[in-house]
Structure 1
Amino acid sequence: MAGPPPVPAPNAVPDLPVILVADDSLLEQRYVGRLLEQQGGWRVAFARSGEEALAAITKSQPALLLTDMNMSGMDGLTLVEKVREQFARVPVVLMTGSGSERVAVAALKAGAADYVAKQSLAHDLIPVLDRVLSVGQAAHRRYQILQGMTRRSSQYIIESDPLLVPPLVAQFREDLIEMGLCDLTGATRAGIAIEEALLNAIYHGNLEVSSDLRENGDEEFHKLARERRGIEPYSARRVRVTARLTPARATFVILDQGPGFDITKLPDPIDPEFNDRASGRGVLLMRAFMDEVRYNAVGNRVTLVKRRDRSSRDDS
């Protein structure tokens, strides 16, 4: 039987990024391949094991590695660790099965950029890949700028508009890289955590829209959010974001003007039952990608702390 096609040569279609899919199931390869090909804008290559994936990346680095968590031989967690160690600029996205949340968290901490539950591939795969790839491309343009900076502080007060979140997160990603706190992959992961915290402050804090509305889809959730952005008291509320960065650590404090919540009732995000819900993903990502996540007693302020990555210390 012929092996999987190699990663296409970079000069084949230079404008299209390569997605390398590592999965030992031919059926799942075909399913994921169809999803990616239907979207367009990518070249897709396949590997049937972690070893094949590493060999393919050695020959020609893809824009992103999409890997199954459970494979024979080298599993997804080991593959994440090896890619992070050998090819730090290649982001990795995991495909996880039901009940593997604890392993997914370990892989996120080991260096994965994001994850997608297999049961949600049709709905979530393309948005997740778009986000990870766009983050990496944007951050790379400003990599290794302002090498002499020793301290940076900023404060923003923004309206409860989700469209303001991506440019603000992009600024913070650049701040992290310029301060030398992490590399491109680390900044991508931290940016995702900050984005989740900001969206929580807007939707659940200022607009008081319950995540329970998302259990049956996003339409009702976003409809209520749009309505509340136009009426008092929700429309007058703002989100205050304070960032303090030094070469040793970055601290992001996000304060909304909502009523807060009982932080003692915050569920465990790695509980399988909780993780299957729409509300579980953001908390899991924040805790996986940040060294500290702290709430005030009221529940309307969250502090995210990102310490300097080991790889950044080694590079210096």
Structure 2
Amino acid sequence: MPAQVSAPVDTPPASPSAPQSIAQVPPTILLVDDSSVQRRIVHTLLDAAGSWQIAHANDGVAALQHIEKDQPDLVLTDVYMPKMDGLALVEQVRDRFPSVPVVLMTGHGSEQVAVNALKAGAADYVPKRAMVTDLGRILERVLANAQSASDRTRLLSGMTGRTSRFVLENDPRLVGPLVAQLREELLALDVCNRHSATRVGIALEEALLNAIYHGNLEIGGELKNSGGEAFQALVKARRHQPPFIDRRVRVLARVTSAKATFVITDEGKGFEVPSTPDTIDPALLDRPNGRGLLLMRSFMTDVRYNTTGNRVTLTKTRSSAESRNTAIAS
């Protein structure tokens, strides 16, 4: 395994043993890595980042055996492993356990691996160089997008189509509830299965947060990607300052059983639109907002910006291979 995560670890962290009520049971993460040292390091980072129940597997084959017996809420896997590597594991989980999202840990120089993983069905990836700062945030987002709302989905199943319009203040807390609403509509109209709906939710979240931070609040990608105190302080300040305070994000969502189209428009100055709008290019990772654009292009059927760069249209076309009924049958 060529890439290493740097973090001091002396002994394997103990798993929580206190009994919890059903409502308080934290999500279960299956950590897959052939290196016991790396598993201990990542386990420690997970304990520091949030409240999780953590299980271990030393390769893809062992991971699939574990999932069959005790399905986790999320799989976090290394790429390079014996017997079955991370990319093969992504494909197997996608086909056999579509409700379980997979996040890959990628090393330096693995940009193409990240692209291949997203194409294969991964929900997200986290570079090992950014594990300390980004791991918890990425896993929490993926888990939030994968959460089930089965009762509401059943209620919405009688819809034949829906058009919705939203006007959002520059409050990131509004993004999660809106994405959850749109994801339920995708499932109810059988545009895609739960696995694909999770990925669409992540793409929508990226687009909406980009409209708020980069568009309306005009915060640069470098500072946004840092996610530190300086970034949070600037967001808080600009949300209450002119001209930012009066700007809004407008969302038009059209969902039918054939496809879903989402048009997200901010009132900022826009940005330089990439010259290759249909390409999923590893070079995007070098751009300040490249990660979000890579995720959107990987998870949606089509992503197009207007010439100004302040409006993005994301389309997800129904595929029989991704429909809910097909996933259940498999």
TM-score (norm 1): 0.88
Counterpart for residue 6 of structure 2: none
Query: Which residue, out of 224, 236, 243, partners 1:233?
Result: 243
Q: How has the CA–CA distance of structure 1 residues 277 and 192 changed in structure 2, closer, same or farther, with 3 Å as cutoff?
A: same
Q: Distance in 1 between matches of 2:304 and 2:231?
A: 26
Counterpart for residue 247 of structure 1: 257
Counterpart for residue 213 of structure 2: 203
Please tell me the residue identity of whatever aligns with 1:34.
Answer: T
Q: Which runs of 5+ in 1 are unaligned?
A: 1-10
Please tell me the residue identity of whatever aligns with 2:28.
Answer: V
Counterpart contact for 2:153–2:187, Cα < 8 Å: yes
Counterpart for residue 275 of structure 1: 285
Check if 1:35 corresponds to 2:52.
Answer: no
Query: Which residue, out of 193, 216, 219, partners 2:203?
Result: 193
Query: Which residue, out of 295, 301, 326, partners 1:314?
Result: 326
Q: How has the CA–CA distance of structure 1 residues 32 and 264 changed in structure 2, closer, same or farther, with 3 Å as cutoff?
A: closer
| Deviates most, 241-250 or 30-39 | 30-39
Q: Distance in 2 between matches of 1:209 and 1:12?
A: 41
Please tell me the residue identity of whatever aligns with 2:65.
Answer: A
Counterpart for residue 30 of structure 2: 20
Q: How has the CA–CA distance of structure 1 residues 142 and 94 changed in structure 2, closer, same or farther, with 3 Å as cutoff?
A: farther
Query: Which residue, out of 63, 68, 80, partners 1:53?
Result: 63
CA displacement, residues 211-267 of structure 1 (integer Å, 9 cap, x when unaligned)? 133466533233223222222221111111000011011000001111212214689
Report the CA distance between 1:299 and its aligned residue. 1.0
Counterpart contact for 2:220–2:288, Cα < 8 Å: no
Q: Which runs of 5+ in 2 are unaligned?
A: 1-18
Counterpart contact for 1:242–1:253, Cα < 8 Å: yes
Counterpart contact for 2:156–2:185, Cα < 8 Å: no
Q: Distance in 2 between matches of 1:212 and 1:36?
A: 25
Q: CA RMSD in A?
A: 2.5
Q: Distance in 2 between matches of 1:136 and 1:280?
A: 23
Determine helix, strand or coil for the equivalent of 1:262.
coil
TM-score (norm 2): 0.85
Report the CA distance between 1:162 and its aligned residue. 1.4
Check if 1:168 corresponds to 2:173.
Answer: no
Counterpart contact for 1:244–1:251, Cα < 8 Å: yes
Q: Distance in 1 between matches of 2:315 and 2:99?
A: 23
Please tell me the residue identity of whatever aligns with 1:172.
Answer: L
Please tell me the residue identity of whatever aligns with 2:95.
Answer: E
Q: How has the CA–CA distance of structure 1 residues 278 and 13 changed in structure 2, closer, same or farther, with 3 Å as cutoff?
A: farther
Please tell me the residue identity of whatever aligns with 2:146.
Answer: G
CA displacement, residues 241-297 of structure 1 (integer Å, 9 cap, x when unaligned)? 00001101100000111121221468987445x526653221111111111110011
Report the CA distance between 1:71 and its aligned residue. 1.3
Aligned identity (percent) is 53
Counterpart for residue 15 of structure 2: none
Counterpart for residue 5 of structure 2: none
